[in-house]
Structure 1
Amino acid sequence: MSVFDVLKERNFIQQMTHEDEIKGLLEKEKVTFYIGFDPTADSLHVGHFLQLMVMAHMQRAGHRPIVLIGGGTAMVGDPTGKTDMRKMLTKEEISHNAEAFKKQMSRFIDFSDGKAILANNADWLLNLNYVEFLRDIGVHFSVNKMLTAECFKTRLERGLSFLEFNYMLMQAYDFLMLNKEYGCVLEMGGDDQWSNILAGVDLVRRKEGKQAYGMTFTLLTTSEGKKMGKTEKGAIWLDAEKTPPYDFYQYWRNIDDSDVEKCLSLLTFLPMDEVRRLGSLKDKEINEAKKVLAYEVTKLVHGEDEARKAQKAAEALFEGSGDLSNVPTSIITHDMLGSSLLDVLTKTNIIPSKSEGRRLITQGGLYVNDENVKDINAVVTEDMFKQGYMLVRKGKKSYNKIVIQ
C-alpha cells in the first residue's frame, strides 16, 4: 500500500491538482514535498498537528519533507480564513516563534541525515528588490483571477489591505524557490490554502517549464463543521506550558461521539481496522474509544510518560481509583489563606480572570471539594485542605488540586 492509498484511506486528501500523476509519483518515486508554517504564535496548535501527521506518513514512506517556516510571510500575514487583518509581529517575535516551532516539530519529523529539510522563507523574501520582484513574478499574476480566490473573498467584504494582497505571490514564490533549490515538486497544505497552492503550481510551470503538483487535506473540524481545537481557555496548543498534558488529554477524551473515528484516523497511527472497530462502538462503549484516542494523541504530542499520568489522573477523578497524584496541581503559600477564592484561582491560572470566576459561580459551575460554591466573595481557609489539598472543579470534568507549601 503506497502512502497515497494510506492518506486516501485515512481521509486526509481533499483536493489535488493532478490526481493520477500524484498517485503515480508517490508510488514509484521518492519525492520532495513541502508544507509551510507561519510562526504567528510561540507554539503549534492541533490544527498544525494534522499537517505534521501528513508529513510523518509521507516521511515513513520514504519521501522527503521540507518544513518551511514562514519567517518572511509572517511579516505580512495570510488573510485566509480571517475576517480582520492579523496582528503585525516584529522580527524578534517571529524569530522567537520560529525557534519554538522547530523544537516542537522534531518530535514528529526526523531531521537527521538529510531525511528532512528545515527552511525559512525569510532567507529569500526579506531582501527582495520590490521592483525586480514585480517585473519577474508579479507579471504572471492576474488581479482579476486573484480576486476570485476563496482566500480573499471574506476579506474583500471587510477590506483587504494591499499588504495582504501580496501574500499569494509570496507563497507562490516560496514554491518556486524550493523547486529550484531542492527539487521540490509537491506543495501540501490545509484545504483553505488551495488558491495559494494553485498559484505556486502555476508559477513553477511558467518560470521553470516544469510540472509541479498540489494537494490539500481536510481541515480538522467537528461533525458540525466548526474548527476543532478550541476551548473556553482558547486554542489547544502542543506546548505543555500553554496546554498542560492533562487538559490536552481531557480535550480528546470529551469530544463528540460522532468525531471519534475521524480523529482516530487522522491523528493516530492505529491500523484502520482498529480505527473502524473503535469508531463503530455505541452508547457507553464509545467511551473506551475516546480513552484510546486521548491516550494515543497525548502520547504522540507529549510522550508516553505524560500520556500515562493524564490517563491515571482521569481514572482517579472519574472512575474512583483514588490516586490523585497525577491530577494537575497548583501550589500556594500559607500567606494566601484568607484571600478570596477568586484571587487564588486567578493567581494559580485555574481560571483566566475574576470575571470568568464570577460567571462560573453565578451559573453554578464552580465546586470546591465537591461542594458547589455559591458566594462570589468566598475566601480560602485552612479547613478546605483536610486531605492535604483542595480539589477545585469547573463544570463537569475540569479538575485541579491546590496544595499549600
Structure 2
Amino acid sequence: MADILDELRWRGLVAQTTDEEDLRAQLADGPVTVYCGFDPTAPSLHFGNLVQLILLRHLQRAGHQVIGLVGGSTGLIGDPRPTSERVLKTREQTAEDVERIAAQVRRILSDEEGPAPIFVNNLDWTAPLSALDFLRDLGKHFRVNQMIKKDAVAARLESDQGISYTEFSYQILQAYDYLHLYREHGCTLQTGAQDQWGNITAGTDLVHRVEGASVHALTTPLITDSQGRKFGKSEGNAVWLDPEMTSPYAFHQYWLGVEDASVITLLRIFTDRGPSQIEELERSLAQEPQARAAQRALADDVTTLVHGAEATAQARAAAAALFAGGDLSELTPQTLAQATDELPGGEVDAGTGIVDALVAVGLVDSKKAARRAIGEGSVAINGVKVDDDTRALEPADYLHDAVVVLRRGRKNQAAARRPGRA
C-alpha cells in the first residue's frame, strides 16, 4: 500500500475524515498520536468495538502512538440513543464494567508491533472537574443551536420523551476527552464509528476553539451484510468479546456462518491478510464455495485475535467432533460445554431409554418416530450408531459426566444433559 490511509481505505475502514489531504500528510510525516474511546455500556465489548480496535492496531503497526480510552465518566452518563433515555447504572456497576473492558482493550492492543499503547480512563480527569468549571471552562464553548442538530439529540427532541440535560451534555464530556488528550499527549486524531461523527467533531471543534489547533477525526462505516442488515447480531444477541458472554466456540461458529457475499469484505476489515492472500481466498470462494475456505480463514483469524490460538484450536476440534465424525470424548470439559450449549436439548437422566431420550431432546415428536429412525440406522449416541431401540443411556455415555450428544440423520443433533451436572 502507498500509505496507511490508502491501506485503511482498501480494507473498508474509512467512512469520513476531516481534511483528508492534511491528515494524509500528518500520517506520512508521523508519528501521530491517535485515540479511540470505549464506554462501559455493557460488561463486554462487542463486534462493533472490535472494528475500532483493529483500526488502532493498523495505525500502531504503522508506527503511530495509540491511546485506548475507557469511559469511566462518560459511561456514567451514556451516549444518547435516538429512541429512549438510558437507565443509569450505579457507580459500582460502571466501575466493574470499566475493569472488564479495559482488560479486553489491553489484550487486543498490547501484543501488536509498534509503540507501546497508552491506556487511560477519563474518570481520572473528569471527576476532579467541578460543576462551575464544567460550565465556565467547557460549556461556554458550545452553542445549543449546534448541539441540538446532532442526530440522536434531534430525534429525541422530536419524541414525546424528550432528552434529559444529563444525556444532552454527553457530547461536551466526550469533547473534553479530546482536549485533555491533546494537552497531555499531543493527540491529534480521534477515531470511532460513523454514528459517532457528531460527538467526535465536537471534540475537534473544542480543541480548535480553546487551543487554536487543527486536529482530525476518522470514522469507520457501519458494517452490513448483502441485505443491508447490521452485522454483529446473532439471533437477536450481540456477538460479545467476553468468552463468558459469547463462548469462543460460538464466536468461531458465528464467523464460519458468514454468507459468501460478505466474507471477502469482512476478511479485509477483520484480518491482517494482505491483497494476495485475500485474492486467493476470493478465487477459492468462486471455484469451490462448498469448501468455505474464506469463512474458515476469517473464523480462525478473528477468534485467535480475540481469544488466542488455543481457543481457536479447541473451537475447531469441537466443530469437527460434532459435525465431521471427530471424537467427542477428546474435547475438554470447557470446550464440550461451549459446543453443546449451542445445541437444543434438555435434561435426561441416566437409565432413560433411547426412544424416550430422543423425544425428550426434541429430535423426534413421538416414540413411533424414534423407533422408526433407529430402525433406519439414522440415530447415534456420541457419534456411534444405535440399532437397538431398547438401548438406555448409561452413566458412561455422559461425556465428562455431563452430557450425551444425540444425533438423528446427518445434521440434527441435540444434547441430553445430566440433571444437576451439565
Q: What TM-score comes out, normalization by structure 1 length?
A: 0.82
Corresponding position of 1:107: 107
Kindly indicate whether the alpha-carbon contact (under 8 Å) linking 1:173 and 1:203 is maintained by their aligned counterparts in 2: yes
Residue 221, structure 1, aligned to residue 224, structure 2: yes
Residue 270, structure 1, aligned to residue 300, structure 2: no
Equivalent residues in 2 for 1:232-381, closer than 5 Å = 232=235, 234-280=237-283, 281-282=285-286, 284-285=289-290, 287-323=292-328, 325-326=330-331, 328-330=335-337, 342=346
Give the superposition deviation at 1:402. 4.5
Give the superposition deviation at 1:342. 4.3
Q: Structure 1: which amino acid aligns with 2:405? A: L
Secondary structure, aligned partner of 2:15: strand
**TM-aligned CA distance change 1:190 to 1:104, over 3 Å:** same
Structure 2: distance between partners of 1:386 and 1:156: 63
**TM-aligned CA distance change 1:168 to 1:274, over 3 Å:** same
Corresponding position of 2:213: 210
Q: Structure 2: which amino acid aligns with 1:288? A: A
Count of equivalent residues: 372
Equivalent residues in 2 for 1:13-52, closer than 5 Å = 13-52=14-53
Secondary structure, aligned partner of 1:269: coil
Structure 2: distance between partners of 1:271 and 1:399: 40
Structure 1 residue ranges, 4+ long, deviating more than 6 angstroms after superposition: 111-114, 367-372, 396-399
Corresponding position of 2:73: 72
Deviations 1:10-58 (A, max 9, x none): 1100000110011111111101111000012222111111111011111
**TM-aligned CA distance change 1:33 to 1:392, over 3 Å:** farther
Give the superposition deviation at 1:121. 0.9
Structure 2: segments with no counterpart, 5+ residues: 339-344, 350-360, 381-390
Structure 1: distance between partners of 2:247 and 2:238: 12
Return the index of the structure with the highest Cα Rg. Answer: 2
Corresponding position of 1:336: none
Kindly indicate whether the alpha-carbon contact (under 8 Å) linking 2:249 and 2:315 is maintained by their aligned counterparts in 1: yes
Structure 1 range deviating more: 10-19 or 216-225: 216-225
Structure 2: distance between partners of 1:18 and 1:204: 15
Give the superposition deviation at 1:285. 3.9
Kindly indicate whether the alpha-carbon contact (under 8 Å) linking 1:111 and 1:117 is maintained by their aligned counterparts in 2: no
Equivalent residues in 2 for 1:143-162, closer than 5 Å = 143-158=144-159, 159-162=162-165
Structure 1: distance between partners of 2:327 and 2:293: 20
Corresponding position of 1:195: 198
Structure 1: distance between partners of 2:208 and 2:140: 14
Kindly indicate whether the alpha-carbon contact (under 8 Å) linking 2:193 and 2:220 is maintained by their aligned counterparts in 1: yes
Give the superposition deviation at 1:401. 7.4
Equivalent residues in 2 for 1:116-195, closer than 5 Å = 116-158=117-159, 159-195=162-198
Deviations 1:278-324 (A, max 9, x none): 23513634612111111111111111111111112212322334456
**What's the RMSD between the two structures over aligned residues?**
3.3
Kindly indicate whether the alpha-carbon contact (under 8 Å) linking 1:329 and 1:400 is maintained by their aligned counterparts in 2: no
Kindly indicate whether the alpha-carbon contact (under 8 Å) linking 2:318 and 2:336 is maintained by their aligned counterparts in 1: no
Corresponding position of 1:96: 96
Corresponding position of 1:378: none
Structure 1: distance between partners of 2:111 and 2:250: 29
Give the superposition deviation at 1:234. 1.8
Secondary structure, aligned partner of 1:108: helix
Secondary structure, aligned partner of 1:92: helix
Secondary structure, aligned partner of 1:33: strand
Q: Structure 2: which amino acid aligns with 1:184? A: C
Structure 2: distance between partners of 1:18 and 1:122: 31
Kindly indicate whether the alpha-carbon contact (under 8 Å) linking 1:257 and 1:286 is maintained by their aligned counterparts in 2: no
Kindly indicate whether the alpha-carbon contact (under 8 Å) linking 2:321 and 2:328 is maintained by their aligned counterparts in 1: yes
